[in-house]
Chains A and B, each alone.
Chain A
Amino acid sequence: MNAPAIAVTGLTVSFGNFVALSDLTFAAQYGTVHGLIGPNGAGKTTLLDVLTGKARTRRGQVQLDGHTDLSRMPEVRRTLAGIGRKFQRPSVFEALTVADNLDLALRQHKRSLLRDVVAGRPGKAARIAQTLATVGLAERRDDLAGVLSHGQKQWLEIGMVLIQDPKVLLLDEPVAGMSDEETAQTAALVKSLRGPGRSIVVVEHDMDFVELVADTVTVLHEGRTLFEGSMADARADRRVIEVYIGR
């Protein structure tokens, strides 16, 4: 059996007296889209913070590919190791063009920052064009990112993470604030990104969106796993209804 892309075991994270994650075990497999849902404060974003190195763990293990220990790795190294994250708030470089945003996102010389700054490498333009087409922004390539609509900024940021070809793609609320039409387009985009060398984790409040894209969902509640399985089963699960959907 293949090792999971991300394996979290016995993870505990606390901020002061507040326990955000408590003894959590979680795995995300290659080739799947994994939905992560739960009420506010359940620990969804904290889990992403732990994976990207933004939050420190108190106890527990975080492994990439079953062998690379992430918990001691600085955040920049994790990105280079293949963990890409789209933030909850759309984070793009507003004073740069769409194409430049993608150009900066594409680090070609991962070993040397200096070479990355001074030297280019052939094939870059093609990668940028391909990514622009994937996220549907080909016509906006020379516009400043600051003038894009909210939804387009979300897509651009997905593109910026995608162009790095990450093993693990973490999407924190990719459709928050989007119109129904944009949400449908985003669902199609996320589904098209699924591939054997990639594991996608989606944190989202929009249940219908999660049902559309996710192969598996994990319901978090108060820092623990409440349920894991398909979205249809989650909707039927009594405990899930109690803490979350029923309210």
Chain B
Amino acid sequence: MTRVFDRLTTVITLLLIVLLAALPLFGLSGALPIYLVNLAGQVMCFALLAMAVDLMWGGAGVLSLGHGLFFALGGYIAAMHLLRTAFAATGVLPDFMQFMGQNRFPAWWAFADTGVATLAAVLLAPAALAFVIGYVSFRSRVSGVYFAIITQALTYTAMLLMFRNDTGFGGNNGMTGFHDIAGLPAGGTAAAVLLAALSTAAVLVCLLAGRALLATRFGRLLTAIRDDEPRLRFLGYETLWLKLAAWCLSAMVAAAAGALYVPQVGIINPSLLDPALSLEVAVWVAVGGRGGLCGAILGATLISLLRSLLAASAPLVWPFILSLLVLAVVLGLPNGLLDIRNRSRQWLLDLAPRPPGRLPARRT
């Protein structure tokens, strides 16, 4: 059973609080360079996305290889809002609309004028999409690798759709040219600090709320689905609704991550729908360790930091490093870095000199 605060969760919570305090403190004064503030914010968005995947994978044993779909959907909706506010400030249509020969926004974009409506759309549209995908799949008892393939195929389909200029969201080039973020000039220090702090706060809230949720009866039912779904069904639970609730919640978290991510990178294009990104999210969770959300944060943070470090110095070797990491985890630590905590004691015992004739104490 999940306790809300185990030692690792407490440590991560404290680190997040420190980061949350440090960002405005050192970011606004200029002690922390803006690119580091930005990097921290983006990494936090990835951590949020990884937690969304872990809620389903570690929580209910349902692997999604298509969370990029919800991440991008949240991002596109946030970008629509930013383009509307840019237009309100400058009166200039986004480049891609001029390029397509449009002289005004499609009327339905008007919903994105207010922050509240945008926020509602960021959370509800992905939830609705997830409901449809989840209802159809879970009702037909599609599970395991088949479900993972479906999610990946849908993400790929969405990428092809968004690549088209006619779809109306900038096609291949995507949407960019944001003017301001909540009144702060886009690309400025204040906006970067605000977004990074918001992302960190979102990770903190999701970690604590998520762990509290996993400790409830609902969380235990998800564990039961992971352990033996038919047994739970034959105890009288329609597992469809339980899985669907978790799935929609997970999609909402992923979309929130995307909506926070896009203003920080200043652009959204269909590359977020590349199946490779969604696969990498699963790698983050696998490397960090499934279940309990802490491993997801660790995995996402460490791997995306490592990648941005190597992106400059050795971009070509990155895929090999990632593959080796996966192999190492699969062979040595089946439940990722979290296994180090569980196994380190045993390793130490194995290394310690043994008194002759006695078996080493084995931890169960």
Contact = CB atoms under 8 A, between A and B. Distances in A.
Interface of A: 52, 75-76, 79-80, 85, 87, 91-97, 100, 103-105, 107, 110, 113, 117-118, 120, 147, 157, 160-161, 164
Contact of B223 (A96, A113, A147): A96
15 contacts: A75-B234, A76-B236, A91-B230, A93-B224, A93-B231, A94-B227, A96-B224, A97-B1, A107-B237, A113-B238, A117-B242, A118-B217, A147-B364, A160-B235, A164-B235
The 8 A-B pairs with the shortest beta carbon distances in the complex, nearest first, are: A79-B236, A91-B231, A93-B227, A93-B224, A80-B236, A107-B236, A76-B238, A91-B228
Interface in B317-364: 364
B223 A95 contact: yes
**Which residue of B228, B235, B241 has the most chain A CB atoms within 10 A of its CB atom?**
B235
Interface residues of B, number: 22
Interface in B5-51: none
Contact of B234 (A85, A104, A113): A85
Interface majority SS (helix, strand, loop, mixed), chain B = helix
B224 A104 contact: yes
A104 B232 contact: yes
A113 B226 CA distance: 18
Contacts of A91: 228, 230-231
Contacts, number: 70
A148 B218 CA distance: 24
A120 B218 CA distance: 12
B236 A110 contact: yes
Interface in B229-270: 230-238, 241-242
B238 A104 contact: no
Nearest to B224: A93
Interface majority SS (helix, strand, loop, mixed), chain A = helix
B191 interface: no
A117 B217 contact: yes
Given A76-B237, A96-B227, A104-B221, 7 more contacts: A52-B234, A79-B233, A87-B234, A93-B231, A95-B227, A96-B224, A103-B220
A53 B301 CA distance: 46
**Which residue of A76, A92, A105, A161 has the most chain B CB atoms within 10 A of its CB atom?**
A76
Given A96-B224, A117-B217, A107 B235 contact: yes
B221 A117 contact: yes
A107 B224 CA distance: 14
A104 B232 CA distance: 8
Nearest to A119: B217
